Amino acid sequence: MNLKNTASEFGGANGANAVLVSVAVAQVANTATYNLGAVIGVDTAALDIVELTGWDTADGDLAIDFAAGTGVELLKGLSSGASAGSITSDGGDDDYYLIAYDTNVTVIYHVDGTTDPNVAADLIPVVMFNSTIADGAFVAADFIMIA
């Protein structure tokens, strides 16, 4: 699958495989921010894709995000309550992709960093939706970064 380099802060070489980091989700309290920058231990400007594993499928429905085009349900699955407040990157303007799985529903989101490192659901649009890819099936070699 091809993804645009310009949508990733890292912006590696044209035609190169993506830099993908997997992270096991540990839910945060209701309305708290999910501090992705701290959880992965890697600068969010030094990667292309974050794959979320262990996302709570009981709290969110990623198919709803596909219909709505935002990350509202994604944030619900990162929280032990109704919703996480936001996703926090380690840099205020970091852009990258997120992969989440919901019982054989795979959604790729684009985290659109602004000057605020706390990214709300409306700045996490859906890039791709697929109901045939098995949970956890993606690896870095599945993605080519293009100009």
Is 113 contained in some domain? yes
> Residue 79's closest CA among 110, 137, 121?
121
Task: Tell whether 133 is covered by a domain.
Answer: yes
Residue 6 lies in a domain: no
Predicted local confidence at residue 115, as pLDDT:
67
pLDDT of 56 > 80? The answer is no
Note whether residue 2 is domain-resident.
no
Q: Mean pLDDT across the stretch 23-42?
A: 86
Is 76 among the domain residues? yes
**Share of residues in the chain with pLDDT > 90 (%):** 26
Number of domains in the chain: 1
Distances (CA, A) of 34 to 19, 84, 117, 140: 21, 6, 11, 23
Q: Are 47 and 95 in contact (CB under 8 A)?
A: no
Beta strands in the chain (DSSP E): 2-4, 20-24, 33-35, 49-53, 86-88, 95-101, 106-112, 118-119, 126-130, 144-146
User: Which residue range forms the structural domain that includes residue 54?
Assistant: 18-138
Q: What is the pLDDT of residues 91-138, one digit of tens each?
A: 777 889 999 998 878 999 999 877 678 888 888 999 999 988 888 889
Q: What is the mean pLDDT of residues 10-32?
A: 84
When the pLDDT of each residue in the chain is averaged and rounded to a whole number, the result is 86
pTM tops 0.95: no
- Phi and psi at residue 64, to the nearest 5°: -65, -40
- Examine residue 146 and state whether it is found in any structural domain, yes or no: no
DSSP character for 102?
A: S
**Which ranges in the chain belong to alpha helices (H)?**
36-40, 62-68, 72-77
List CB contacts of 143: < 8 A, sequence separation 6 or more: 1, 2, 3, 17, 18, 20, 48, 49
pLDDT at 120: 87
| Average pLDDT of the segment spanning 56-72 | 88
The answer to whether position 72 is within a domain reads yes
Gap between the Cα atoms of 121 and 115, Å rounded: 15
Residue positions counted in the chain: 147
Amino acid identity at 128: M
3 lies in some domain: no
Q: Tell me the mean pLDDT in the region 78-87.
A: 83
